[in-house]
């Protein structure tokens, strides 16, 4: 592991030097994130009949200043860390049932120097061979596909729609499928709201184990489903989601 970390650190030093203002303010470094994500991967292991599975999708929540700092090279750093995680999973004998992915998202509630993670399993197609390359850090690695039973359970998509039914953005809609749907004031969200009582990233919906699940993104005013404040909630058709002054209807197609 030390050798891999050294190679990863060398990559960041050579190609993205000075990226995180080392020694100033947060002192946040990409290698530090990579090490923390390996711990997150370990903590989220799922033991199956024949294999130990680990999540393939990792979200890193950063303070807005750190996020702005990372933006110019964010995709490059995310890809390198994802490849590093895949290598670590392979060395430990874990199965990562999906293409490794790391994404960065700003979180206004984090204080200077803080960051947090969320991890999950994402859906893969039945015929997908998961191949990841680490460039100079490793050779090509091929990871085991899901078993036919696991594929059958995970490959059937669920499609739905969220519609703003009360608030400033009445009529605004977004499709909900297997991809993550972000809700909040940020312009790039799948459901971008103008409601000033919502956070930039207020909540998000993901596809997990055949259902859509909504998570509160540590928003300032909270996320409510059918009048109850939630941090995580599996959605059912007809559920009403309240964020700020906006009421959103979730329906399955």
pLDDT tens sequence across 79-94: 889 988 988 888 888 8
The residue assigned the tokens 């903590």 is 43
Closest by CA position to 234, among listed 205, 207, 210, 212 = 212
- Residue 64 has φ and ψ, to the nearest 5°, of -50, -40
Superfamily of domain 1-17+27-120: FhaA, phosphopeptide-binding domain (DUF3662) (3.30.2320.60)
Architecture field, domain 160-252: Sandwich (2.60)
Q: Is the pTM of this model over 0.75?
A: no
Closest by CA position to 206, among listed 130, 98, 111, 131 = 98
pLDDT tens sequence across 173-229: 999 988 889 999 998 899 999 999 999 999 999 888 889 999 999 899 999 999 999
Parse the chain into domains and list their residue ranges: 1-17+27-120, 160-252
Q: What is the DSSP string of 79-142?
A: HHHHHHHHHHHHHTT-B--S--EEEEEE-TTPPTT-EEEEEE-----TT--EEE--GGG---EE
């Amino acid at each position: 592991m030390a050798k891999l970390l050294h190679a990863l650190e060398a990559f960041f030093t050579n190609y993205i030097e000075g990226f995180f203002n080392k020694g100033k303010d947060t002192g946040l470094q990409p290698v530090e994130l990579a090490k923390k994500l390996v711990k997150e991967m370990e903590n989220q292991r799922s033991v199956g009949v024949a294999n130990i599975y680990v999540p393939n999708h990792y979200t890193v929540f950063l303070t807005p200043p750190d996020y702005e700092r990372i933006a110019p090279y964010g995709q490059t750093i995310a890809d390198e860390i994802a490849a590093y995680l895949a290598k670590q999973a392979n060395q430990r004998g874990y199965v990562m049932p999906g293409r490794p992915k790391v994404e960065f998202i700003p979180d206004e509630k984090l204080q200077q120097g803080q960051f947090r993670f969320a991890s999950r399993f994402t859906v893969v197609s039945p015929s997908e061979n998961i191949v990841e390359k680490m460039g100079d850090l490793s050779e090509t690695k091929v990871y085991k596909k899901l078993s036919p039973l696991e594929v059958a359970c995970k490959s059937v998509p669920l499609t739905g729609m969220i519609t703003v039914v009360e608030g400033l953005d009445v009529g605004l809609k977004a499709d909900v499928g297997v991809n993550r749907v972000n809700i909040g004031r940020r312009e790039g969200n799948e459901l971008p709201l103008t409601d000033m009582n919502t956070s930039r990233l207020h909540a998000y919906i993901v596809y997990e184990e055949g259902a859509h699940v909504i998570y509160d993104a540590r928003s300032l005013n909270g996320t409510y489903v059918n009048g109850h404040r939630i941090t995580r909630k599996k959605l059912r058709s007809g559920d009403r989601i309240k964020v700020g002054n906006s009421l959103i209807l979730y329906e399955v197609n």
